[in-house]
Amino acid sequence: MQIDLSALKSIFNPKLRPLIGVDISSTSVKMVELVDSGNGEPRVERYAIELLPRDAVVDGNMAALEVVAEAVRRCWKRMGTSTRFVAMAVPTAAVITKKIILPAGLREQEMEVQVESEANQYIPFALEEVNLDFQVIGPSSSGQDDVDVLLAASRKERVDDRVAVAELAELKPVIMDVEAFAIQAAYELVEKQLPNGGRGQIVALVDVGATAMKVMVMKDDQSLYVREQAFGGAQLTDEIMRAYGLGPEEAESLKRSGTPPDNYEVEVLHPFVENMAQEVARALQFFYTSTPHNEVHHIVMAGGSVLVPGVVNVIRERTNANVLLADPFAGMAIAPRIRARQLAADAPSLMVACGLALRKFDQ
């Protein structure tokens, strides 16, 4: 019997094992597959986006498991890959995170006991109702005999639903992450594109989804401020439905159409972009009044709702900051089958999927 040594090696070395990052939002399924270009640097091998029916996913909850699984299956088939290992993420709002301090030098089993003991203080659920994980961050500033440990906990049904969706689609979930951590991983690629790699500069990462806008303000990889506001692309969809008497799917299609009605830009799109700029300016104002800072050097816009025309210019005018669309793939090698221009256009909506795909390269 001939043994496939390459497959055998990939089982014991996760960095060799193919992995797809799968982001399931309230409007679409997005997949990204990255491979090693040969020098330890990622190359975009494949990606795909598949729209979801309205209300299949509501506030991060899988309202229709089989419908979502079917969309995941279609997205995977569109990619044309043989890779079935996937990394997924639970919504940030569904996860409780806490940094704790533990003695250095504990064995893993001892650390697990300590983490569970600490978790009881911070998690308002019985431990048997949650999935609990932890990661040693590094030496603690409290003393050389301690380490900082990040613990994360999520209700089991949030994790179980995503695992069930993957398995219904005949995929194999091997990593469950948190959306905010995945975005942070992809942001590190974007940060390199800023002047001096963003060092010493204050950067606001604004992720605009269907129903919520998340703002994370950072300086040198340190989080200075986090805020979530009730604003998103669903407002544009609702306005299109109202203005043109369309159903949800038709309205989503019009948003992506290159030939919208004549009055669309002036009467529907421009007011939405102005509202987005106003929400960003408002979030920054909250940042200024609640921290010692009074300036943001760069605003990085991410999420599917920032793909509409005019976003960068209008927000730049409102905030007087350098505004750019997030593109974690800029400067990355791209497989010949991928259209570079289309990837750049889709890039702001692929931050979570890209961050998940990057887990293949974890040390």
In the chain, what are the domains?
Answer: 1-92+158-193+327-363 (3.30.420.40), 94-156 (3.30.1490.300), 194-326 (3.30.420.40)
- Distance of alpha carbon 118 from alpha carbon 98, whole angstroms: 10
CB 24 within 8 A of CB 49: no
Summarised one tens digit per residue, pLDDT across range 233-271 is 999 999 999 999 988 878 888 887 767 888 898 999 999
Closest CA to 181 of 21, 3, 18: 21
Using the predicted structure, report yes or no on whether residue 9 has a pLDDT greater than 60.
Answer: no
pTM check: above 0.95: no
Q: Share the mean pLDDT of the chain.
A: 88
- Distance of alpha carbon 92 from alpha carbon 96, whole angstroms: 8
Using the predicted structure, report yes or no on whether residue 1 has a pLDDT greater than 70.
Answer: no
Which run of H or E residues covers position 222? strand 222-229
Using the predicted structure, report yes or no on whether residue 282 has a pLDDT greater than 70.
Answer: yes
* DSSP classification of residue 329: T
Closest CA to 346 of 326, 331, 363: 326
Using the predicted structure, report yes or no on whether residue 43 has a pLDDT greater than 60.
Answer: yes
Summarised one tens digit per residue, pLDDT across range 127-157 is 788 888 888 888 888 777 888 888 888 888 8
- Residue with token string 């159409």: 257
Higher pLDDT residue, 11 or 336? Answer: 336
Tokens for 325, please give them. Answer: 């669309």
Tokens for 342, please give them. Answer: 């289309």
Using the predicted structure, report yes or no on whether residue 4 has a pLDDT greater than 50.
Answer: no
Using the predicted structure, report yes or no on whether residue 8 has a pLDDT greater than 50.
Answer: no
Q: Could you tell me the pLDDT band of residue 54, with boundaries at 50, 70 and 90?
A: confident
Minimum mean pLDDT range among 33-47, 101-115, 204-218, 314-328? 101-115
- For the chain, the residue count is 363
Q: Could you tell me the pLDDT band of residue 12, with boundaries at 50, 70 and 90?
A: very low
Q: Above pLDDT 90, what percent of the chain?
A: 54
* DSSP classification of residue 194: S
Using the predicted structure, report yes or no on whether residue 2 has a pLDDT greater than 70.
Answer: no
Q: Could you tell me the pLDDT band of residue 15, with boundaries at 50, 70 and 90?
A: low
Q: Could you tell me the pLDDT band of residue 16, with boundaries at 50, 70 and 90?
A: low
Using the predicted structure, report yes or no on whether residue 190 has a pLDDT greater than 70.
Answer: yes
Q: Could you tell me the pLDDT band of residue 7, with boundaries at 50, 70 and 90?
A: very low
138 φ, ψ (degrees, to nearest 5): 155, -175
**Helix-strand-coil split of the chain, %, nearest 5:** 45, 30, 30
Using the predicted structure, report yes or no on whether residue 363 has a pLDDT greater than 70.
Answer: no
Using the predicted structure, report yes or no on whether residue 6 has a pLDDT greater than 70.
Answer: no
DSSP β-bridge partners for residue 150: 99, 135
**Ordered alpha helix ranges (H), the chain:** 5-12, 65-79, 108-122, 156-168, 179-191, 234-244, 248-256, 264, 270-290, 311-319, 340-346, 351-357
311 φ, ψ (degrees, to nearest 5): -60, -50
